[in-house]
Structure 1
Amino acid sequence: MEKELLFGLLYLVYYGGLAGLTYYIIQKNSPDPLHMMQLEGYQPRDYQLWLKDNKAFNFALKISSSQNKTPLVWTDRAKRLHKRHLETILLVLVSLLVLSIFLYKYFFWLIFYPLCLGVFAFSQFHWIILAAKLNLPLENKINQGFYDTAKEKIRARKDLSVVGITGSFGKTSTKFMTATILEEAFKVQTTPSSFNTPMGLSKVINNDLTENKEVFVAELGAKEPGEIKEVADLVQPTIGVITAIGPTHMHLFKTIANIQKTKYELIEALPQDGVAIFNVDNAYVRELADGCDRKTIRYGMDLDQDLDVFADQIQVGALGSSFQLHLPGQDPVLCETILLGKHNISNLLAAACIAYSLGMTADQIAAGIRKVQPVEHRLQLIQGPSGVNVIDDAFNSNPVGARAALEVLGAFQDVKKIIITPGMVELGDIEEEENEKLGQEIAQVVDYCILVGEKRTQPIQRGLKGAGFPQDRLFVAQSLDEATQISAHLTGPGDVVLIENDLPDSYNEV
């Protein structure tokens, strides 16, 4: 009896010790899956897509907080999910331990039990999905409360003008340009950074939108049909802008038609006396403008189009741009800006349309345009301490934006031109084709090309080779830091380095 009790205690120590060790390992590494879930907007669907494309366990081993471009933020929601994740893990481990009480004498369980725990530890990135789904009813209830409070606050502000801006690209830049220009005549509240989700917008409305603000400029984002409607119902815009439509988030939208339908939800949310503003240089946006039943303002630079607001006499240089701005019923006015690239003139035209619809004059708008500063990581020209010019276009990349960035780089003369890029992502089925085209276009502009990531950049490498780019001027780095070190050996004072896209933490090549 004593011998049996002794063996029982030894088995208990064995099984309990292994379970405790497993929990310790998982608990220690638990911020990694939480971080990835946060980067994917706490959406189990998006997180599962990330898991499908990444070897999560190996990735977890190489993550460190000092390497993350976007570190984990311990918000209340993150703390709740982390707690639920650990509770879920503990429940499974306790269940296995209880099972061991009935199977402890069996030899197969002595071997199978540690194997179960090993597989369980390796699959920790998957268990947070269950935790997120278990937490979903609570999170939805909390979010709905914030959403309803913000919506009611906007509804009560009859004196507030609300501008909604959406598009596949250009919306964040246009938002900040608009705010700067409107500040010539109004007290303006805008959303920081790329806040464009229901919760991000609710936070700004509830915490920052004060009674003295006259205009609220909101960026509206979406990854699937119905999401623009949700944020438009929240902010209740009277002016809506569609900056551009193109192949972004194609892995989720699948078709351009779905993107058009989703972006047009903003226009459908406008009141009948609202103002719909369209960039008709973009063919997909032009289709939407042609079918709009609200008051429309059509803007662009293609003078063959029917335009209400347009730019001509455009001069684009390495250090800025100028153009003549035309508004209905007003004399043309010369506008000068330090912003780089013709596409930024398009964004300025969108901002000018908004200002015009709110009653500002051409002179006021031109004065505001002169004050507009580059948006961080969006064709931002920075001069390094060694005299090297860096064009920071690292925030995101798409086919139109990448070509615009190459156009800006090409404007620099008599200096070495270098690009650092990992290529474009989230383009769905056309991603490889577009990156190969990008390689061909890079070959026509740069002296040296530094690619980040061996596997992901294969299409760009094919494009470069097909365009006859010298292979001794092509470098492949494993990280942005390594790429920067390579460029430092190639550049001198006055040379130009374009950083085109910087993939988020959720992309890797493990």
Structure 2
Amino acid sequence: MRGLAALLAVLAAGTALALTLVRVLYLLHMLQLEEYDTRRFVHWVVLHVDRLAANPMLDLLGFLGIAALFVRLESALSIVIVCTVSIVAGLTGLLWERRLGVRSPVKKALVMTPRARRLLVCTAILSAAICLLPLIGKGWFAGATAWLMPLMAPLVLVVGRTIMEPIEASIRDWYVRDARRILAGFAPTVVGIAGSYGKTSTKFFTAHLLESRYRVLMTPESYNTAMGICRVIRGQLGPEHEVFVVELAENEKGGFEHLLRLVPCSISIVTSVGLQHLEEFGSEAAIRRVMKGFVSMPGSGSTVVLNADDLVLAEIGSVRGKRIVSASAGGSLSSDLHAENIVMSADGLSFDILMSQDERFACCTKLLGRHNVENILLAVAVARELGVSWNAIQDGVATLQAPPHRLQVMAGAGGVRIIDDAFNSNPAGFAMAMEVLAAFPSRRVLVTPGLVSLGKAEDTENMEAGRRAAGSADTVILVGPKKTQSVREGLLSAGFPEANILTVRSLEEVTGLMGSLLTPGDTVMFENDLPDTYNE
């Protein structure tokens, strides 16, 4: 009987370890989505305790662990019974986790990068050491620890993340040094693009206009952190590239100083100063301070192109050692170049670009959204600084394509028009998207989970978003009952019919609605698509 008890104790610890590792794998996915930021991950855990406790087998194992702290099992029979219950609970818990995963499919799966593998191995070793304590420890305290492990998975992952940080810091430093060496060796003209929003679109437009004259490499998608930029430099940059267009994250750890040491710019653009990532910065004043500081940094280049329609950037006058070029889509005649005669429709944009020397050039594009005129002008300013002809610029503007998930128009099934504006919405972007939606004929359907990362301003901005949506959409589908409550209030306060507001828990439910809701000729706009960390 003693031998059986010992065997079952090992199996009980093993099932507890297996369940812990399954939990750790799920939590590692969330940590990765939070960019391995411990503070943000802990904040997510606190807000999603209900989801972490959705498996009742965790509670049963936790109960066994707590009971083991107070009740000492003397007989082999009692140990056999308790360990058998633990094994059954552990195996059932594993099946339960699988069931929860099937019910909540993810939009972006865990990417097993080298960093993710290292952290998983570290956490697995740490978990195994704790779960195997019953074999080497004395008393039931060790057993209690093993049974409590699945509930303690968030803590174990944070401890593993802390243990690995010095190693990860050393690896990051090596990558940065290697990327700097490669960049210095090839010495392309570096165009850096910073701002609260509009960076990715401006990056795509800038690269496209420059390609008529130069061989250009652009950081893909939203690669805008040090490690993402290092990956592009080390994996793609070659001697053939004459210009390197790089997006710079304003919330990168270490600030712009860190990024500009990696990629010192020849010329840079600042697109906007807004509320995006207010939660990370803490205040609007901090965002303004960071963006203004970027302009004066030596690494931002000898020439900086500013969006003169942004109130904060318009305040920037001369900067010692810099050439400031301003661009305006709002008719600022004092700008170095500005747009006039802007016409927006469901088919695209047309406008004239005027230089301060009274040169006028007519442009048209299939891009949607008045805000894209600002982004295009910033790209045009860089193209002119680098010697691209006006004929090439006009041809380039005419052939611009919307970056993925940024007001992309697609043909859906059954004669339905889809507007994909799912990437990272912000208050200004939401307002512009509603203007675009209003340009299409009825019936217009808006699908949105609202706005996030706005700190204390989030509820206010979501109410305003709801009011704007009321004037543009005929039907609104809110994704997430809790987080869209402020959007609903804004819709209702603007007189939007409550019967035309539908609320679902996930995009999968939206798909189910579409078949019965839509008819040929309808327009559906997907505005913002939050990562899996925001699932309710």
Both proteins in one fold, TM over 0.5: yes
Shift of 1:58: 4.4
1:41 aligns with 2:38: no
Q: Partner of 1:139: helix, strand, or coil?
A: helix
Q: Partner of 1:498: helix, strand, or coil?
A: strand
Correspondence 1:170-181 to 2 at 5 A? 170-181=198-209
1:193 aligns with 2:221: yes
Structure 1 pair 273–284 and aligned structure 2 pair: CA distance change class (3 A): closer
Q: Which amino acid aligns with 1:374?
A: A
Correspondence 1:245-324 to 2 at 5 A? 245-270=273-298, 274-289=302-317, 294-304=322-332, 306-324=334-352
| Bigger shift: residues 112-121 or 72-81 | 112-121
Do the aligned partners of 2:268 and 2:300 also contact (CA within 8 Å) in 1? no
Do the aligned partners of 1:233 and 1:269 also contact (CA within 8 Å) in 2? no
Shift of 1:499: 0.6
1:57 aligns with 2:38: no
1:28 aligns with 2:22: yes
| Bigger shift: residues 112-121 or 336-345 | 112-121
Q: Partner of 2:420: helix, strand, or coil?
A: strand
Do the aligned partners of 1:224 and 1:252 also contact (CA within 8 Å) in 2? no
| Bigger shift: residues 295-304 or 171-180 | 295-304
Shift of 1:293: 5.2
**In 2, Cα distance between the equivalents of 1:452 and 1:288?**
40
Which residue is 2:247 aligned to?
Answer: 219
Structure 1 pair 272–88 and aligned structure 2 pair: CA distance change class (3 A): closer
Which residue is 1:83 aligned to?
Answer: 121
Which residue is 1:148 aligned to?
Answer: 177
Shift of 1:96: 4.7
**In 2, Cα distance between the equivalents of 1:189 and 1:444?**
41
Structure 1 pair 58–388 and aligned structure 2 pair: CA distance change class (3 A): farther
Correspondence 1:335-484 to 2 at 5 A? 335-413=363-441, 415-484=442-511
**In 2, Cα distance between the equivalents of 1:407 and 1:114?**
61
Q: Which amino acid aligns with 1:25?
A: L
**In 1, Cα distance between the equivalents of 2:39 and 2:479?**
27
**One of 485, 493, 497 as aligned partner of 2:512:** 485
**In 1, Cα distance between the equivalents of 2:302 and 2:414?**
51
Gaps of 5+ in 1: 1-5, 104-108
Gaps of 5+ in 2: 56-96
Structure 1 pair 257–288 and aligned structure 2 pair: CA distance change class (3 A): farther
Do the aligned partners of 1:35 and 1:71 also contact (CA within 8 Å) in 2? yes
Structure 1 pair 451–311 and aligned structure 2 pair: CA distance change class (3 A): same
Structure 1 pair 320–58 and aligned structure 2 pair: CA distance change class (3 A): farther
Do the aligned partners of 1:337 and 1:372 also contact (CA within 8 Å) in 2? yes
| Bigger shift: residues 279-288 or 437-446 | 279-288
Do the aligned partners of 1:278 and 1:289 also contact (CA within 8 Å) in 2? no
**In 2, Cα distance between the equivalents of 1:305 and 1:298?**
10
1:332 aligns with 2:360: yes
Q: Which amino acid aligns with 1:482?
A: E
**In 1, Cα distance between the equivalents of 2:436 and 2:506?**
24
Cα deviation code 1:370-424 (max 9, x no counterpart): 12111111111111131111110111111000000000000113x2011000100
Shift of 1:327: 3.1
Structure 1 pair 292–63 and aligned structure 2 pair: CA distance change class (3 A): farther
Q: Partner of 2:11: helix, strand, or coil?
A: helix
Q: Partner of 2:532: helix, strand, or coil?
A: coil
Shift of 1:224: 5.8
Shift of 1:144: 1.0
Shift of 1:189: 0.4
Give me the CA root mean square deviation. Answer: 2.1
Do the aligned partners of 2:329 and 2:338 also contact (CA within 8 Å) in 1? yes
**In 1, Cα distance between the equivalents of 2:429 and 2:262?**
29
**In 1, Cα distance between the equivalents of 2:300 and 2:172?**
29
| Bigger shift: residues 449-458 or 319-328 | 319-328
Shift of 1:488: 3.5
**In 1, Cα distance between the equivalents of 2:462 and 2:531?**
18
Shift of 1:13: 3.2
Do the aligned partners of 2:342 and 2:350 also contact (CA within 8 Å) in 1? yes
Shift of 1:323: 0.7
Q: Which amino acid aligns with 2:17?
A: Y
**In 1, Cα distance between the equivalents of 2:276 and 2:42?**
19
Structure 1 pair 338–289 and aligned structure 2 pair: CA distance change class (3 A): farther
**In 2, Cα distance between the equivalents of 1:59 and 1:299?**
53
1:15 aligns with 2:9: yes
Do the aligned partners of 2:17 and 2:146 also contact (CA within 8 Å) in 1? no
Do the aligned partners of 2:13 and 2:147 also contact (CA within 8 Å) in 1? no
Shift of 1:426: 0.6
**In 2, Cα distance between the equivalents of 1:272 and 1:145?**
23
Do the aligned partners of 2:294 and 2:300 also contact (CA within 8 Å) in 1? no
Which residue is 1:126 aligned to?
Answer: 155
**In 2, Cα distance between the equivalents of 1:481 and 1:29?**
24
Shift of 1:291: 5.6
Do the aligned partners of 1:327 and 1:362 also contact (CA within 8 Å) in 2? no
Do the aligned partners of 2:267 and 2:301 also contact (CA within 8 Å) in 1? no
Which residue is 2:93 aligned to?
Answer: none
Q: Partner of 1:339: helix, strand, or coil?
A: coil
Cα deviation code 1:137-175 (max 9, x no counterpart): 1111111111101112222334x2100001111001110
**In 1, Cα distance between the equivalents of 2:192 and 2:38?**
28
Shift of 1:114: 5.9
Do the aligned partners of 1:393 and 1:499 also contact (CA within 8 Å) in 2? yes
| Bigger shift: residues 484-493 or 81-90 | 484-493
**In 2, Cα distance between the equivalents of 1:390 and 1:373?**
16
**In 2, Cα distance between the equivalents of 1:288 and 1:88?**
52
Q: Partner of 2:170: helix, strand, or coil?
A: helix
Structure 1 pair 225–15 and aligned structure 2 pair: CA distance change class (3 A): closer
Shift of 1:129: 1.1
**In 2, Cα distance between the equivalents of 1:131 and 1:293?**
46
Q: Which amino acid aligns with 1:391?
A: I
**In 1, Cα distance between the equivalents of 2:425 and 2:300?**
35
**In 1, Cα distance between the equivalents of 2:183 and 2:142?**
57
Do the aligned partners of 2:200 and 2:247 also contact (CA within 8 Å) in 1? yes
**One of 94, 111, 135 as aligned partner of 2:164:** 135
**In 1, Cα distance between the equivalents of 2:343 and 2:313?**
25
Which residue is 1:157 aligned to?
Answer: 186
**In 1, Cα distance between the equivalents of 2:158 and 2:195?**
30
Cα deviation code 1:61-88 (max 9, x no counterpart): 4335982211111111111111011011
TM-score of the pair, normalised by structure 1: 0.91
